[in-house]
Chains A and B, each alone.
Chain A
């Protein structure tokens, strides 16, 4: 069972620090404040961005900046371009017009190795998150460290799996996991490298309400540790629940453009 009290959140933060042994920055400041040193800068920014799939423009004239430590929801009807927006955020897609800047680097200027390095700073959780089905859950969670030739201690990995409530499934193969377990495993995999940004694409799409709230809680805790969170969802109840816990802003995709949603939520 995952606690939501602040003491536990602090413990989690302390546990996460030695987890990767690569903390490059001071520990995060809690209370949904931004980290020192990045204040005022955008971790991801869009400038007149458009994206065209070939059959017409899906996104156009998008300009925004995601501040460090911010919490955003991205909403809109199915097919509006939420997933495309997120893919632009981690250079899975390149804009057909305009400029996307991730950590002060224009994505078109990134080499393939630099894209890979950038993705180590951005954790991604998909609705249908994929794993390496032949490897146990623990190996899947540590995969971001494995590919960067880093290691994690068994204690730290155990703490992380406990945090997402999956410690007892460390040796299980991904096909045997339920939807909620897969989502939490994906979250653990996303945070193990201490990313600055976490992008979640319909993370609660396959989950019941209780499990959705548990996942939301984990994301809120991460935000309190200074992570920038962007969640694409069409679940208004989830957004209302989150706004009760954290100062989240809601972006809405309408008519190919991203707008700041008003008080109708």
Chain B
């Protein structure tokens, strides 16, 4: 059905297309606009997908681990650490638990206190990292057991870290999607302006066509087909350029940061290929609306 419609659009309207003279600046303006907007959309899409991946990665990594912080007098610290480890190893849903070494704690504090921090001389809490099994553990029950057996132990399941991170990543993803919508809207507006300019420049053509009995739909089709194909062609170039740009970004694996992770993975590379038909659809709807509105102004 859709294929038949597209085929009819491409073939049957060639005749209608001929009645409109070749226009100058609106032709390349439409192609350029569609190309530039699609190029930007590829990056917005990559941003959105990268934000989504980041949100999932952070959320997953933080969700599967938790930390028990033991704040106790120095003489009780080792005892409470052993008790906590015993409790954790007998807690269903906890896959493993281990106390961080002084070296690991020093590394965690290094960004704030420098590399020569004497961790062993400072009254800093002892940290125990636990990894969740495939079956989740009962956080509230574990808290109660810890408070009963090791009063200085506090379970931190990372919820307060996870929420803002997931929220930030989610908003970043939303921002990418909003950007795509705005780019689409801007493209529709620009193509509408170009279509209106073309319609105004071809007022005589429209007058002749109306005189000989052309329906509005026929006249509109002549313009719509032209703008749709131009937008499609421009968007193809823009999508290709955008994909090349993304492909040339440094690999995420090499640097590991967010910016270097801006790209497509797997089937994600197919998504930019959907943009040219989408741009053509936007151009089709924008031009058709503009053309019919303009024609309705005429007698």
Which residues of A are interface residues toward B (Cβ below 8 A)? 91-94, 112-113, 116-120, 124, 130-135, 139, 143-144, 146-149, 189, 193
Q: How far is the CB of B193 from chain A (nearest CB, A)?
A: 23
Q: What is the chain A residue whose CB lies nearest that of B21?
A: A134
Given A92-B299, A146-B19, A147-B218: A116 and B210 within 8 A (CB)?
A: yes
Q: Are A113 and B19 in contact (CB under 8 A)?
A: no
14 pairs from A and B in contact (CB 8 Å cutoff): A91-B299, A94-B299, A113-B217, A116-B210, A116-B213, A116-B216, A120-B212, A120-B213, A133-B21, A134-B22, A143-B209, A144-B213, A147-B213, A147-B215
Q: CA–CA, A94 to B204, complex, Å?
A: 21
Interface magnitude class on chain B = 20 to 34
Q: Count CB-based A-B contacts (< 8 Å).
A: 60
Q: What is the chain B residue whose CB lies nearest that of A192?
A: B212
Q: Would you call B208 an interface residue if the criterion is a C-beta within 8 Å of the partner chain's C-beta atoms?
A: yes
Q: Would you call B190 an interface residue if the criterion is a C-beta within 8 Å of the partner chain's C-beta atoms?
A: no
Q: Are B22 and A131 in contact (CB under 8 A)?
A: no
When distances are taken between beta carbons in the complex, the residues of chain A under 8 Å from B21 are 132-134
Given A93-B299, A116-B216, A132-B21: A124 and B211 within 8 A (CB)?
A: yes
Q: Would you call B77 an interface residue if the criterion is a C-beta within 8 Å of the partner chain's C-beta atoms?
A: no
When distances are taken between beta carbons in the complex, the residues of chain B under 8 Å from A144 are 212-213
Q: Would you call B90 an interface residue if the criterion is a C-beta within 8 Å of the partner chain's C-beta atoms?
A: no
Q: Which of A112, A113, A143 contacts B208 (CB 8 A)?
A: A143
Q: CA–CA, A149 to B214, complex, Å?
A: 10
Q: Would you call B134 an interface residue if the criterion is a C-beta within 8 Å of the partner chain's C-beta atoms?
A: no
Q: Which residues in window 194-223 of B have CB below 8 A to A?
A: 204-205, 207-218
Q: Would you call B18 an interface residue if the criterion is a C-beta within 8 Å of the partner chain's C-beta atoms?
A: yes
Given A93-B299, A130-B204, A132-B208: A143 and B19 within 8 A (CB)?
A: yes
Q: What is the chain B residue whose CB lies nearest that of A121?
A: B213
When distances are taken between beta carbons in the complex, the residues of chain A under 8 Å from B214 are 116, 147
Q: Are A130 and B208 in contact (CB under 8 A)?
A: yes
Q: How far is the CB of A200 from chain B (nearest CB, A)?
A: 13
Given A133-B21, A134-B21, A135-B19: A113 and B216 within 8 A (CB)?
A: yes
Q: Are A119 and B22 in contact (CB under 8 A)?
A: no
Q: CA–CA, A112 to B209, complex, Å?
A: 13
Q: Are A130 and B212 in contact (CB under 8 A)?
A: no
Q: What is the chain B residue whose CB lies nearest that of A120?
A: B213
Q: Are A148 and B216 in contact (CB under 8 A)?
A: no
Q: How far is the CB of A20 from chain B (nearest CB, A)?
A: 13
Q: Are B207 and A130 in contact (CB under 8 A)?
A: yes
Q: CA–CA, A193 to B204, complex, Å?
A: 21
Q: How far is the CB of A160 from chain B (nearest CB, A)?
A: 15
Q: CA–CA, A104 to B118, complex, Å?
A: 104
Q: Are B205 and A132 in contact (CB under 8 A)?
A: yes
When distances are taken between beta carbons in the complex, the residues of chain B under 8 Å from A124 are 211
Q: CA–CA, A147 to B204, complex, Å?
A: 16
Q: CA–CA, A213 to B106, complex, Å?
A: 109
Q: CA–CA, A149 to B11, complex, Å?
A: 13
Q: What is the chain A residue whose CB lies nearest that of B216?
A: A112
Q: CA–CA, A94 to B299, complex, Å?
A: 9
Q: CA–CA, A91 to B210, complex, Å?
A: 11
Q: CA–CA, A120 to B218, complex, Å?
A: 14
Q: Are B15 and A112 in contact (CB under 8 A)?
A: no
Q: What is the chain B residue whose CB lies nearest that of A140?
A: B208
When distances are taken between beta carbons in the complex, the residues of chain B under 8 Å from A120 are 212-213
Q: How far is the CB of B279 from chain A (nearest CB, A)?
A: 28
When distances are taken between beta carbons in the complex, the residues of chain A under 8 Å from B218 are 147
**A94, A113, A132, A148: most-surrounded residue (chain B CB, <10 A):** A132
Q: Are A147 and B216 in contact (CB under 8 A)?
A: no
Q: CA–CA, A113 to B205, complex, Å?
A: 18
Apart from A112-B296, A132-B208, list 12 A-B contacts with CB within 8 A. A92-B299, A112-B215, A112-B216, A116-B210, A116-B215, A118-B213, A119-B210, A130-B211, A131-B208, A134-B22, A147-B214, A148-B213
When distances are taken between beta carbons in the complex, the residues of chain A under 8 Å from B205 are 132
Q: Are A146 and B211 in contact (CB under 8 A)?
A: no
Q: Which 4 A-B pairs have the closest CB atoms?
A: A120-B213, A147-B214, A134-B21, A119-B213
